[in-house]
Structure 1
Amino acid sequence: MSVYSLRLRLMSLAVVWVIISLVAAALVLQYLFTINVERSAREEMTATIARLAALIVPEANPPAIRSPLADPRYDTPFGGRYWQIEAIDTQTVTRSRSMWDEGIDVPDSYEGVFHHSMPNDRHLILLTRRLQVDGPAGPRTYLVTVGQDHDPIYRATQAFARDTTRLLILLGGAILAAAYLLLLLGLGPISRMRQSIEAVHRGDAPRLEGRFPSEIEPLVDELNRLLAVRAVMTDRARARAADLAHGLKTPLAALHGIADRLRESGNTHEADLLQDLSYEMSERVDYQLKLSVLRPRTGTDNASSSLNTAVLRTLAVLKKTGRGETLHWVAELGTDYLVDIHRQDLMELVGVLMENAAKWASSRVVVQSRLADNRAILDISDDGPGIADHHSARLGERGHRLDESLPGTGLGLAIAREILALNNGDVSFTRADIGGLSVSVSLPLAR
């Protein structure tokens, strides 16, 4: 997936936003859980202070309470619940049995919640209040402190954090899966539009077809209008080329007639020259007409054509020609490879190459197909005179011929080179094992 992919960008933004949101949610939930647990602890300690205030014996010194608290943890050494009463006037202190021999230093003027660490690695959360209790000798002031171990609160918050993390990870995965599904559904019309454009490139459809969302319908309409304009301009260009070609056919036919009359009058040299020129002009007109119907290719459109079908159809036609009937044709075709070229262009390519082989063969033409480097290879060999190795690079140059013994302009192989250049193909010429020329064509497989 490209870094410029819209799907990748949207999915990346969704991932970043989900992660930020879930991390923020985890922090907020952890904070809310912690303050709620500590609020519950403060409320419980406030209630304990109220009970102690009702149980203080004002005439006792040091301070004392009339009866123990109902929670047995206050009477169990290090039981997790603690209280301490300090008489301000006498500076005497009474503690719960759970504190054993440990004391808590609380400033006389301090009131509120605070944390305290004990020497035996225990961490306490404490609440201190200043109380006045009426007694026989008048009101007395006490500093009452109650507390509990902070470790259960810490363990609860840690367990909550772990459970919340698991839940948020599952939630994040579900949200991202839903976001990906949403992207697939939301961007699906764009994929369908791309497929429609590929169908236009392949020649399977003249315009973009199908139903599209209203948001991209204007874009589809504009593309269809552009395709319509391009089709009209292409048809006009081809029609003008055809008109020009047909317009030249009559003068060329007249030139043939003039050449015949010159030959009859004994002017053989000028007649042959005039006939050769008119024949070459006819070949060039045909060449331009064939080029005008070739389909331009881009790097994004796809095509799929059967190589075996093109070879067998061409072979069936050539065997019915006068030259083809005298030749022995050998087609060694294996797997039917699908190649990335339009079927009409493939038929033109195979036809040009097999016609050339039939033209120069003495008695036999061999056609073979194979696979090499993930490309389809078509080898066409004849047992004709062949060419020298140092001439192979010039074969297929427009209008260039290496042998003038047979009629022609050399434009057939030039057309083959044009077709291969448009379709990412290659061609090479070597001496065949059967003595003549071997043409090897390489074409990419259909995607």
Structure 2
Amino acid sequence: MSRNSLGLRLMGLALVMVASSLILAGLILQTLFVDNLERSVRGDLDAALSRLVALIDPAQTVTTILAPLPDPRYETPLGGRYWQIEALDNTGMARSRSLFDQELPTSDVADGEAFHWVNGDGLHLILVSRTVEIGTRLFRVTVGEDHDRIHEAGVQYGWDILRLFGLLGIAIVAAAWAQLRLVLMPLNRLRSAVDDVRRGEVDRLGGDFASEIEPLVDEVNGLLSEREALAQRGRRRASDLAHGLKTPLAALHGIAMRLRDRGEEAEAISLDELALEMSSRVDYQMRLASLRTRSGEHRESSSLNTAILRTVTVLRKTESGERLHWLAELGDDMHVDIHRQDLMELVGVTLENASKWANSSVVVQVLRQAEMAVLKITDDGPGIPAKKIEKLGRRGARLDEAVPGTGLGLAIATEILELNGGAIAYQQGRRGGLTVDMRLPLARR
């Protein structure tokens, strides 16, 4: 996918949304889990505090309890459960053995509210403290529990959530990718349909498309109809122009004949040449108009050997071709990336040019060089001086005015090759004539 791909953008957005949603959900779930654990611990601490209050002996001068609490952690140093009873009449303080010499801070804490306390040694407790009146005496009773157990449970729960949400994220992204591919399938079908139109296989976009794409399909079909109408109108106008020029050209020939009858041969020749030039220009533009417009993604496949054999067969029946010896060294058939009609035009104009200049033979060779097909056409004609070869292929350029023709054949060949990513070159032939070297890209299988 390219950076401007719609699919890449949607997948990136889906990945960001999924990742951010799962991270946020994981943090919320872990927070709720820890809060639930703390509420549960607070409930246990409230129950333990009520039990501890019931065990206080207010008759004793020294603060003490009647019996130990049943949880052995209160009697184990740093066992994880702690209690403290402080007589507010300054008659002493009692603490669980698990506290050692630690004193819990309770002076600024509201009754019944759970709070956290961390000492300098890394002891982190969650505490509940309450002031109670027993008889005539007031006591500040505090119970607590290590928060480490809650923290460790929260961390373990977080890792479990991370693994679960990681797998869930992969599944969601995979499902999003599959959904994206499914959603983009109509666009791929639309692209294939457009490519079929460009190749000339169909005239309109057809098939079942999603309702969201149907308006676009209708617009494209409407555009194709307008383009076809404009093309037909242009062809009709070109045909009308060609027919319209026949009468003036015929009139020019008539005038030339009358001038010859009156002995004005020079003027007659000038008019004939003018009429011939006009006719050739019209023919050249009409033939170029029939060529297919190509793009970088438009692929064709046409048999080079078939085009050569068909053209040679036709030329051998012409007046100039039947007197020649034709030699075709073709080898394995190669398919080139050019429309069949354009290929026939290319081979036709180059072989016709060779047959016009050849004395006795024309040699056609087909070679392969890397990803290019090379077509060599050599005649045994008079050849062309090296300093004039560069003029070949220019529109309307004729190197020998004594030979009939317009000089447009090789210009048409050049146009066809440039349109289809090929190239043409000219050089002196080994047999004294001209060698036309044409290169065309091979069709992609």
Structure 2-normalised TM-score? 0.87
Which amino acid is the alignment partner of residue 45 of structure 1? Answer: L
Q: CA deviation at 1:376?
A: 4.1
* CA 1:51–1:234: 2 relative to 1, 3 Å: same
Counterpart mapping for 1:28-427 below 5 A? 28-99=28-99, 101-111=100-110, 112-118=113-119, 120-133=121-134, 138-249=135-246, 252=249, 274-325=271-322, 326-334=324-332, 336-339=334-337, 341-362=338-359, 363-372=361-370, 374-427=371-424
Contact 1:88 1:142 (C-alpha < 8 Å) held by counterparts = yes
Cα distance in 1, alignment partners of residues 378 and 418 from structure 2: 22
Question: Is this contact kept in 2: 1:357–1:365, CA < 8 A?
Answer: no
> In 2, Cα distance between the equivalents of 1:47 and 1:313?
105
Residue 174 of structure 2 aligns with an amino acid whose one-letter code is A
| Structure 2 residue identity aligned to 1:336 | M
Partner SS for 1:351 = helix
Letter in 1 for 2:367: S
Alpha-carbon distance in structure 2 between the residues aligned to 1:29 and 1:434: 90
* Distance 1:390-1:150 versus aligned 2 partners, 3 A rule: farther
Q: Equivalents in 1 of 2:200, 2:367: separation in Å?
A: 26
Contact 2:362 2:379 in 1 (8 A): yes
1:202 Cα deviation after fit: 1.6
Shift of 1:293: 1.5
The letter for the 2-side match of 1:64 is T
Give, as a single letter, the amino acid of the residue that structure 2 aligns with 1:428.
A
| 1:329/1:284 CA distance change after superposition, 3 Å | farther
- What code does the residue aligned with 2:103 have? I
Change (3 A) 1:180 1:391: farther
Q: Which runs of 5+ in 2 are unaligned?
A: none
Which residue identity lines up with residue 331 of structure 1 in the other structure? E
Superposed displacement of residue 234, structure 1? 1.0
1:22, 1:335 → 2: CA distance? 60
Measure how far apart 1:201 and its partner are.
1.6
Assess, with a 3 A threshold, how the Cα gap between structure 1 residues 240 and 48 changes in structure 2: closer, same or farther: same
Aligned equivalents of 1:305, 1:55: Cα separation in 2: 104
> Alignment partner of 1:364: what SS?
strand
After superposition, the C-alpha distances for 1:261-285 in whole angstroms (9 at most, x for unaligned) are 8779987666655554444443333
Question: Share of identical aligned residues, percent?
Answer: 53
Contact 1:327 1:358 in 2 (8 A): no
Q: What is the CA–CA distance in structure 1 between the aligned matches of 2:172 and 2:301, rounded to whole Å?
A: 40
Deviation at 1:195, TM superposition (A): 2.0
C-alpha RMSD of matched pairs (Å): 3.0
Aligned-partner Cα distance in 2 for 1:180–1:41: 45
CA distance in 2, matches of 1:330, 1:360: 18
35-44 or 387-396: bigger deviation = 387-396
Pick closer, same or farther for the CA change 1:86–1:196 going to 2, 3 Å.
Answer: same
- The answer as to whether partners of 2:84 and 2:104 remain within 8 angstroms in 1 is no
Q: Distance in 2 between matches of 1:432 and 1:65?
A: 124
Instruction: Give the 3 Å change call, closer, same or farther, for CA 119–284 of structure 1 in structure 2.
Output: closer
The answer (yes or no) to whether the contact 1:33–1:157 under 8 Å persists in 2 is yes
1:4 is displaced (CA, Å) by: 3.3
Q: Which amino acid aligns with 2:422?
A: G
Mark the CA change 1:388 to 1:39 in structure 2 (over 3 Å): closer, same or farther: farther
Residue 330 of structure 1 aligns to a residue whose secondary structure is strand
User: Using the alignment, how far apart are the partners of 1:389 and 1:180 within structure 2?
Assistant: 63
Query: CA offsets per residue over residues 68-121 of structure 1, 9 Å max, x none?
Result: 32322222222222222222223422222222x232232435233333334543
Any idea what SS the aligned residue of 2:436 has?
strand
Contact 1:417 1:427 (C-alpha < 8 Å) held by counterparts: yes
Q: Give the equivalent residue in structure 2 for 1:22.
A: 22
Matching residue's letter, 1:70: P
Equivalent residue pairs, number: 440
SS in 1 for 2:67: coil
Q: In 1, Cα distance between the equivalents of 2:332 and 2:136?
A: 114
Contact 1:198 1:302 in 2 (8 A): no
- TM-score computed with the length of structure 1 as normaliser: 0.87
Q: Residues of 2 paired with 1:220 and 1:444: CA distance?
A: 33
1:429 is matched with 426
Rounded to whole Å, the distance in 2 between the matches of 1:302 and 1:209 is: 20
* CA distance in structure 2 between the aligned counterparts of 1:90 and 1:220, rounded to whole angstroms: 92
Q: Distance in 1 between matches of 2:386 and 2:156?
A: 83
Assess if the C-alpha contact under 8 Å between 1:334 and 1:369 holds in 2: no
Cα distance per residue 1:299-344 (max 9 Å; x no partner):
55443434343334333333443433422322334462341x3222
Amino acid at match of 2:220: L
Change (3 A) 1:89 1:446: farther
In structure 1, the gaps of 5 or more residues are: none
Give the deviation of 1:384 after TM superposition: 3.2
Task: Give the secondary structure class of the aligned counterpart of 1:141.
Answer: strand
| Separation of aligned partners in 1, 2:87 and 2:301 | 99
What is the letter of the counterpart of residue 227 of structure 1?
A: L
